[in-house]
Amino acid sequence: MKITFASGKGGTGKTTISTNLTSYLARMGKSVVLADLDVEEPNAALFIKSTLKKTEISNKMSPKWEEVDCALCGKCAEVCNFNAIVAMPEEILVFPELCHSCYACSELCPTDSLPMTPSRIGEIKEFKADGFSLVEGRLDLGQEMAVPLIAQTIEYTDKNFSDSIKILDAPPGTSCPVIEASRGSDFVILITESTPFGLNDLKLAVETMKVLKQKFGVIINRYGIGNKGVQEYCRDENIPIITKVQNDKEVAKLYSKGELIYPQIEHFKNSLDDIVKFIGGLK
Amino acid sequence: MKIVFTAKGDSWDSQMDARFGRMELLVTYDEASQTLQAATNSETESMEHGAGLQTAQKVLELEPDVIITGNGAGQKALEILKRSNVKMFVGAGDMTIKEAYEAFKADKLKTQF
């Protein structure tokens, strides 16, 4: 079972709910792993007491220009859909940060002057926590491509924790990184808040999931603020609302101290029970 | 001397565009022939990444001696621009093209490189 926690809007509680749920499932005796896929700013590890077990270097393939046989025909720059290659009159410039590793330039180069070579983009870390493991993808500073590292972090998690429940904490938004974090999962839980802003971004996320033909449900976080817009939308669109997490300043206080919420706040724990029950009914 | 302005319109009274990579128009003034010519840069609108690189390349194809812009070019675009002898002047983002030209002539603009 693999479940992605996504949202449209940032700051709706993906990490808060996924870290707490993972810990809660572990305490119930389940084999569970949490993967932090917000590789541009991973922070799940801040909320989980853990020790580092293993670090793997993450590489990406990108072309390297070899001058010798190059005819400077410019075919490479022409076929690149991502503006990663600039053909100058006397040289070919490659910008690996922009490369999507599609191999088009390398394969179509008539003189084989752009061999694909690996270069480091970040790290995958595995942490051992109380009863479960945490896998974190972390992009190096200056790197712009989150997708390859997200894919590798999921692959690592699948390979090393094949029999566990996998909770994936996705980045916010609705672009490529979110799609990569969602498309291979059994179910996606979209976390939103009942404000006009939350609703606007929820709609974008729902449209994204529909294009992916992905099964999904909604959690309304900070329930009690804003208006009824999200509830009405979910009702009209027939989207299941898995739970409503009460708006509570005490939750924010615990979050700001980097502490788990459910051991101290009953209504939050009840919401986790709703999620566990919902997940249990998915199979 | 040939000067490229990053601009929002194609006449002397048009506003400059402070952006380099995603400037609306490349406006070229050739002092020798005293002609002002505009070329669109609208294709960068749909680019998620790499707009600066494409714009830099397009600017160099015009073979200018000077570029006058607002905020300056980004790091990757600079890598390309620095391969030519072009000089880059910044800080003209809030001016009209005419004001920017006059400020350049009066030596009032800073260079980015």
Question: What is the least distance, in Å, from the CA of B12 to any CA of chain A?
Answer: 31
Facing residues of B25 across strands?
A: B7, B40
Tell me the nearest-neighbour CA distance from B43 into chain A, angstroms: 12
CATH number at residue A102: 3.30.70.20
Which residues on A lie below 8 Å from B49 (Cβ)? 82-83, 98, 144
Residues A194 and A78 in one domain: no
Q: Which residues of A touch B (CB under 8 A)?
A: 82-84, 86, 88, 91, 93, 95, 97-98, 144
Q: Are residues A43 and A71 in the same domain?
A: no
Within 10 angstroms of residue A119's Cβ, the number of other Cβ atoms is 13
Domain containing B30: what range? 2-111
Same domain, A7 and A43: yes
Distance from CA of A162 to the nearest CA of B (A): 35
Judged on CB neighbours under 10 Å (0-12, 13-18, 19+), A89 is exposed
Per-residue confidence (pLDDT) for residue B45, from 0 to 100: 84
Q: What is the mean pLDDT of chain B?
A: 94
CATH number at residue A220: 3.40.50.300
Q: What are phi and psi of B91, to 5 degrees?
A: 95, 10
**Residues B52 and A97 sit within 8 Å (Cβ to Cβ):** no
Interacting residues of B106 by C-beta distance below 8 A, sequence separation 6+? none
Q: Grade residue A68 by pLDDT with cuts at 50, 70 and 90.
A: very high
CB A49 within 8 A of CB A129: yes
CA-to-CA distance for A262 and A243, rounded, in angstroms? 15
**B79 chain-A contacts, CB cut-off 8 A:** 93
Which of B53, B79, B83 comes nearest A83 by C-beta? Answer: B53
pLDDT in tens, B39-57: 999 988 888 788 999 999 9
Q: What is the average pLDDT across A55-75?
A: 96
Q: pLDDT digit string (tens) for A243-255? A: 999 999 999 999 9
Q: Do B83 and A98 touch (CB under 8 A)?
A: no
User: What are the chain B neighbours of A91 within 8 Å (beta carbons)?
Assistant: 83
pTM: 0.80
The tokens describing B105, both together, are: 């002539």
Domain shared by A230 and A188, yes or no? yes
Same domain? For A199 and A70 the reply is: no
pLDDT in tens, A162-212: 999 999 999 999 999 999 999 999 999 999 999 999 999 999 999 999 999
Mean pLDDT calculated for residue range A59-83: 95
Same domain, A82 and A202: no
Question: Burial, A83: exposed, middle or buried (Cβ in 10 Å; 0-12, 13-18, 19+)?
Answer: buried
Measured CA to CA, the distance from residue B100 to residue A106 in angstroms comes to 43
Q: Are residues A227 and A90 in the same domain?
A: no
Same domain, residue pair A55 and A77: no
* Tally of domains in chain A: 2
CA distance B50 to chain A (A): 5
* Owning domain of residue A173: 2-59+122-281
Phi, psi of A12 (to 5 degrees): -95, -10
Other Cβ atoms less than 10 A from the Cβ of B105: the count is 10
Closest chain B residue to A83, measured at CA = B50
Q: Which residues of B touch A144 (CB under 8 A)?
A: 49
Instruction: Give the separation between CA A19 and CA A22, rounded to whole angstroms.
Output: 5
| pLDDT higher than threshold 80 for residue A283 | no
Structure confidence at residue A256 (pLDDT): 95
Contact B49 A83 (CB under 8 A): yes
Q: Do B50 and A98 touch (CB under 8 A)?
A: yes
The stretch A19-38 carries a mean pLDDT of 98
CB pairs < 8 Å spanning A and B = 28
Q: Could you tell me if A185 and A224 lie in one domain? A: yes
Answer yes or no: do A93 and B80 touch at CB < 8 A.
Answer: yes
pLDDT single digits (tens) B79-113? 999 999 999 999 999 999 999 999 999 999 999 87
Residues A54 and A70 in one domain: no
The stretch A154-161 carries a mean pLDDT of: 98
Q: In the prediction, which pLDDT does A195 show?
A: 95
The count of domains in chain B is 1
Is the model more confident about A268 or about B75?
A268
User: Residue B97 is part of a domain; what is its CATH number?
Assistant: 3.30.420.130
Q: What pLDDT score does A144 carry? A: 84
Please give, rounded to a whole number of angstroms, the shortest distance from the CA of B42 to a CA of chain A: 15
Average pLDDT over all residues of chain A? 96
Same domain as A195, residue A141: yes
